[in-house]
Amino acid sequence: MGVEQNLELVGVQKFYGNTEAVKGIDLKIQSGEYCCLLGPSGCGKTSLLRMIAGHEEISAGDILLGNTRLNSLTPAHRGTSMMFQNYALFPHLSVLDNVAFALKLKGVPKSERYEIASKFIEMVRMQGYDARFPDQLSGGQKQRVALARALITKPKILLLDEPLSALDPALRIDMRAELKQMQRDLGITFIHVTHSQDEALALATVGVVMNEGRIEQFASPIDLFNKPINVFVADFVGGHNILEFDNCIYSLRTDKLTLSKIKKDQKTHSSRFTVKDIEFLGNSVSVTVSDLKKSTLKAHLSDKDFYKHEFAIGQNVNCKWSKTDLHKLKA
């Protein structure tokens, strides 16, 4: 029985001059996970990905894949493959030659590498495009070619640097589904850098939220959304209100906040707010309200609930929630 190819980072640091971009990261990703690294620009997620790939030297710490220490290995000998944000296809090579390029470098004969490349082209549903050049492809097609080229070396880990950022919204959703299905079919580890919360929640089996070179939380997408560890994660993942009372800080999901019109002699523990903004989101509506202290809350309502109450900007409303829906955050 072979050794499990888990990826482990131990005390990994990265300095650019005197600036510490990655601050002593400890992380273990189980083999076969779809892991998303997410966080704002400059949080260190891309630097971390590039250090795993071997495109950046680490300043301190260790990167281990199974029992192999990767620190001094070249990118080609790490058991990883990287799909770049701009796809990095060779403009002068056809789709077939782009996909087969890594095999050419390994000295695989032309007929054999073309046969193997054709199978990977078929896997990403690009058969019939073998002779086309990158400038003859759409963004989604370029992404598929880049994916086939990255997978042809049969890596243990596929590294993806914001692979969907250049695509239009509809295509992005389609490609999300394709990536997820491909990862399941291949059974290898995917590590995917993104700044999109929706993308991470949709794709990941585990997620890593980073901020200022550190890991804020490492958890399943469900726990990242329902049980954020602190205010930063709750704000970054989105869909939460932050409430402070009794010397504690809580998050409350925006879909757990109930709005109602004010009734005379109403006896509840709800608070009076004024509707400040209404944002239509198709089959749902986001309503922003604030009180006299300028505290702002958001309620995410179904379109049915919104039209039932006919809320309007400037209208006074009650905000109500259940204590069981509050999640206590670390200070």
Q: Structure tokens of 330?
A: 């670390």
Going by C-alpha positions, the residue among 27, 22, 36, 35 that lies closest to residue 8 is: 27
- Assess if CATH 3.40.50.300 describes domain 7-232: yes
How distant is the alpha carbon of residue 284 from its chain centre?
A: 23
Whole-number pLDDT of residue 3 = 55
CA distance 157 to 154: 9
The hierarchical CATH code for the domain 252-321 is 2.40.50.140
Q: Which helix (H) or strand (E) holds 76?
A: none
Mean pLDDT along residues 302-310: 89
DSSP E strand stretches across 66-184: 68-69, 80-83, 157-161
Going from N- to C-terminal start, the domains of the chain cover 7-232, 252-321
pTM score, two decimals?
Answer: 0.90
- Report residue 284's pLDDT band, with 50, 70 and 90 as the boundaries: very high
192-201, 232-241, 286-295: segment of lowest average pLDDT: 286-295
| pLDDT tens, residue by residue, 230-243 | 999 999 999 999 99
Q: Is the pLDDT of residue 266 over 70?
A: no
| Sheet of 258-261, strands arranged across | 258-261, 316-320, 271-280, 284-290, 296-302
CA distance 113 to 299: 56
**7-232 shares its CATH topology with 252-321:** no
- Report residue 4's pLDDT band, with 50, 70 and 90 as the boundaries: confident
Going by C-alpha positions, the residue among 74, 78, 76, 102 that lies closest to residue 88 is: 102
Whole-number pLDDT of residue 264 = 61
- Report residue 1's pLDDT band, with 50, 70 and 90 as the boundaries: very low
| pLDDT tens, residue by residue, 119-149 | 999 998 899 999 999 999 988 899 889 999 9
Beta carbons of 241 and 298 less than 8 angstroms apart: yes
Q: Is the pLDDT of residue 267 over 70?
A: no
The Cα angle at residue 40 between residues 34 and 42, in degrees rounded to 5:
105
First-to-last CA distance in the chain? 45
Beta carbons of 146 and 89 less than 8 angstroms apart: yes
